[in-house]
């Protein structure tokens, strides 16, 4: 087994773990967004979707457990990489200019990641670990977004997740070794599109709920 | 067509490896725009020597962009802001009269500063020693065409082999990672039939050596390929990732 630990804890191995878990989160985000779009169809549709999701029972628990384990891997590996990368350059240059490779998204990955972790904890407290015995999720959501501060926090968090996804998606393919002249341009474009879809898709929801429900 | 410009230089001065360094300002008067930045440093050093001061230490050798010896961060860009050139190919015509030029050494934990702008890049040699070679019997030169190699593979291998090991990728990387260097060296041999027998061992050993030397981890910022004087692509990093993962999961090498 030592070879496995050696492989996974090497620099490429850590990136591999980031890439695999990250891509799974991308799939999760798309699924989560697809479900949330039922909000546009009205409260009943959204509640029906939530009910349907919970009807999955043990399968849902399994998915949630998987997401938790992946989150732990993604966060601990990410923080380790962040620490090691800071350590690799003890003295910074006085003048540093970008050559054109770095983007706002790529330069802020650890920071957007940490903010998203805090957001996810808050999001779970808001909508997951709440007493739903007397109300429906649609009611809880519309109550929450009556407060403009929550609308602001959620929209801001979705802009941040858009940036995180914009670098993370194509980056995961590069890490997995999938850099090919025929596909790379498409992957780069897809990365931006996915960022925009996630950002706008989720970001419009709190605004819609606070304005129209 | 001889043009002369005057500049202000801010240069990192550090007496020895573990001593604290600082920036010193030097006026550079009437510098010909036809000379390179290294030749300008020669001019400054002649003046410093005449004044009885310590000349600025900097690495250089061929001065035609092929040896990989020179290198410094000029105004925030490794080898200066010109594309695909080394420091010795950076001519003063790219600067304007009155400019301030900040010249700093490569900064990385794995590249300790020896003196001023000269850094110890032997960490890159350690990576090569770990597997950046092929094992063949010595003897007469083999027949050039004894092993058929597809033109495409030869071209790709040559693109990777263009790496001169200057360390600009490490200097350019926000994480001070040596992935472009290692990726180029692993790719160069992995693409050729001569490199195939030891490919798995090479990928694992070179990566382990790289990790142990204190370089950072790649986060696909792509600054390395943009700043590389030989314009080596991050396709080589992806190939290294493939080679390493293939070797780790599918070969008996450890």
Beta bridge partners of B100: B8
B103 within 8 A of B12, measured Cβ to Cβ:
yes
Same domain for B174 and B97? Answer: no
List own/partner pairs for A2-8 with CB under 8 A and 24 or more apart: A2/B254, A3/B248, A3/B254, A6/B208, A6/B248, A6/B254, A7/B245, A7/B248, A7/B249
Q: Which of B10, B76, B218 sits opposite A11 (nearest CB)?
A: B218
- The ipTM, to two decimals, is 0.92
| A1 domain residue, yes or no | no
B210 touches chain A (CB under 8 A): yes
Same domain for B142 and B244? Answer: yes
The CATH number given to whatever domain includes residue B229 is 1.10.1060.10
Tell me the two tokens of residue B61. 């050798």
CB contact under 8 A, A174 and B207: no
Same domain for B126 and B100? Answer: no
Query: Which residue range is the domain that position B127 belongs to?
Result: 122-250
Beta bridge partners of A111: none
Tell me the two tokens of residue B2. 């001889």
Interface test with A, best of B172, B241, B244, B251 (most A CBs within 10 A): B241
The CATH number given to whatever domain includes residue B21 is 3.10.20.30
Give the per-residue pLDDT at A66. Answer: 97
CB contact under 8 A, B240 and A98: no
**CA distance between the termini of chain B:** 62
B232 touches chain A (CB under 8 A): no
Give the per-residue pLDDT at A136. Answer: 87
Same domain for B93 and B38? Answer: yes
| Chain A environment of B177 (Cβ under 8 Å) | 11, 85, 88
Only one residue has tokens 């990777």, namely B160
**CA distance between the termini of chain A:** 55
pLDDT tens digit sequence for A85-104: 999 999 899 898 888 889 99
| A99 domain residue, yes or no | no
| B114 domain residue, yes or no | no
pLDDT tens digit sequence for A7-29: 999 999 999 999 999 999 999 99
Query: Which residue range is the domain that position A73 belongs to?
Result: 12-87+106-212
Question: Is the pLDDT score of A203 beyond 90?
Answer: yes
Same domain for B83 and B150? Answer: no
Same domain for B223 and B158? Answer: yes
| A43 domain residue, yes or no | yes
Taken in order A154, A159, A164, A165, is the CA torsion positive or negative? positive
Q: How far is B38 from chain A (nearest CA, A)?
A: 19
pTM of the model: 0.94
| Chain B environment of A7 (Cβ under 8 Å) | 245, 248-249
Give the per-residue pLDDT at B6. Answer: 96
| A2 domain residue, yes or no | no
| B172 domain residue, yes or no | yes
Nearest CA in chain B to A103: B221
Q: Which of B75, B226, B235 sits opposite A95 (nearest CB)?
A: B75
CB contact under 8 A, B221 and A102: yes
* b/e code B101-129 from CB counts within 10 Å (16+ = b): bbbbbbbbbbbebbbbbbbebebbeebee
Same domain for B56 and B91? Answer: yes
pLDDT by position in tens, chain B (length 254) = 579 999 999 999 999 999 999 999 999 999 999 999 999 999 999 999 999 999 999 999 999 999 999 999 999 999 999 999 999 999 999 999 999 999 999 999 999 999 999 999 999 999 999 999 999 888 888 888 889 999 999 999 999 999 999 999 999 999 999 999 999 999 999 999 999 999 999 999 999 999 999 999 999 999 999 999 999 999 999 999 999 999 999 999 88
Give the per-residue pLDDT at A145. Answer: 92
| Chain A environment of B99 (Cβ under 8 Å) | none
| B113 domain residue, yes or no | no
Question: Is the pLDDT score of A213 beyond 70?
Answer: no
Report the alpha-carbon distance of residue A100 to residue A103 in Å, rounded: 8
Beta bridge partners of B74: B77, B103
DSSP state, residue B53: P
A183 touches chain B (CB under 8 A): no
Q: Which of B109, B176, B244 sits opposite A12 (nearest CB)?
A: B244
Only one residue has tokens 């009155």, namely B98
Interface test with A, best of B223, B224, B229, B246 (most A CBs within 10 A): B223
Q: Which of B75, B207, B249 sits opposite A97 (nearest CB)?
A: B75
Same domain for B88 and B164? Answer: no
Interface of A with B in 156-175 (CB under 8 A): 167, 170-171, 174-175
* b/e code B29-64 from CB counts within 10 Å (16+ = b): eebebeebbbbbbbebbeeeeeeeeeebbbbbeebe
> What's the number of domains chain A is made of?
1
Same domain for B70 and B11? Answer: yes
| B109 domain residue, yes or no | no
Helix or strand or coil: residue B56? coil
Interface of B with A in 112-171 (CB under 8 A): none
| Residue percentage of chain A with pLDDT more than 90 | 79
> What's the number of domains chain B is made of?
2
Question: Is the pLDDT score of A1 beyond 70?
Answer: no
Same domain for B241 and B129? Answer: yes
The CATH number given to whatever domain includes residue A149 is 1.20.1300.10
| B110 domain residue, yes or no | no
């Amino acid at each position: 087994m030592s070879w496995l630990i050696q492989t996974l804890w090497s620099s490429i191995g850590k990136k591999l773990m980031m890439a695999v878990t990250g891509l799974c989160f991308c799939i999760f985000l798309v699924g989560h967004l697809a479900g949330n779009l039922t909000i546009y169809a009205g409260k009943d549709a959204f509640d029906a979707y939530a009910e349907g999701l919970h009807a999955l029972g043990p399968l849902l628990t399994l998915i949630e457990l998987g997401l938790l384990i992946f989150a732990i891997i993604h966060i601990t590996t990410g923080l380790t990489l962040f620490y090691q990368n800071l350590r690799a350059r003890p003295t910074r240059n006085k003048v540093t200019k970008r050559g054109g490779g770095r983007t706002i998204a790529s330069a802020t990955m650890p920071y957007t990641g940490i903010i998203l972790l805090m957001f996810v904890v808050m999001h779970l407290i808001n909508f997951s670990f709440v007493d739903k015995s007397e109300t429906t999720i649609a009611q809880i959501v519309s109550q929450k977004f009556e407060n403009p501060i929550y609308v602001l926090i959620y929209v801001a968090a979705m802009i941040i997740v858009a940036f995180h996804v914009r670098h993370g998606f194509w980056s995961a393919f590069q890490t997995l070794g999938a850099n090919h002249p025929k596909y790379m341009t498409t992957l780069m474009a897809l990365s931006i599109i996915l960022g925009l879809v996630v950002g706008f898709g989720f970001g419009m929801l709190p605004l819609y709920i606070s304005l129209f429900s | 067509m001889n043009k002369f410009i005057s500049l202000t230089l801010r240069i990192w001065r550090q007496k020895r490896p573990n001593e604290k360094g600082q920036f010193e300002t030097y006026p550079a008067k009437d510098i010909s725009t036809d000379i390179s930045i290294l030749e300008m440093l020669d001019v400054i050093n002649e003046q410093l020597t005449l004044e009885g001061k310590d000349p600025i230490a900097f690495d250089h050798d061929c001065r035609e962009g092929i040896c990989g010896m020179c290198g410094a961060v000029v105004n925030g860009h490794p080898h200066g802001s010109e594309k695909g050139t080394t420091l010795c190919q950076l001519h003063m015509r790219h600067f304007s009269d009155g400019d301030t030029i900040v010249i700093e050494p490569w900064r990385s934990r794995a590249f300790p500063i020896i003196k001023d702008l000269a850094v110890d890049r032997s960490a890159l040699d350690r990576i090569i020693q770990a597997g950046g070679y092929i094992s063949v019997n010595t003897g007469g030169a083999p027949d050039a065409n004894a092993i058929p190699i597809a033109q495409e593979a030869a071209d790709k291998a040559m693109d990777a082999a263009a790496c001169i090991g200057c360390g600009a990728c490490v200097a350019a990387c926000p994480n001070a990672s040596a992935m472009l260097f290692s990726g180029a060296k692993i790719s160069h041999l992995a693409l050729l039939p001569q490199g195939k027998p030891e490919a798995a061992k090479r990928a694992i050993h070179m990566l382990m050596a790289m990790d142990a030397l204190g370089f950072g981890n790649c986060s696909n910022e792509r600054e390395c390929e943009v700043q590389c004087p030989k314009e080596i692509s991050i396709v080589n990093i992806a190939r290294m990732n493939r080679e390493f993962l293939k070797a780790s999961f599918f070969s008996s090498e450890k």
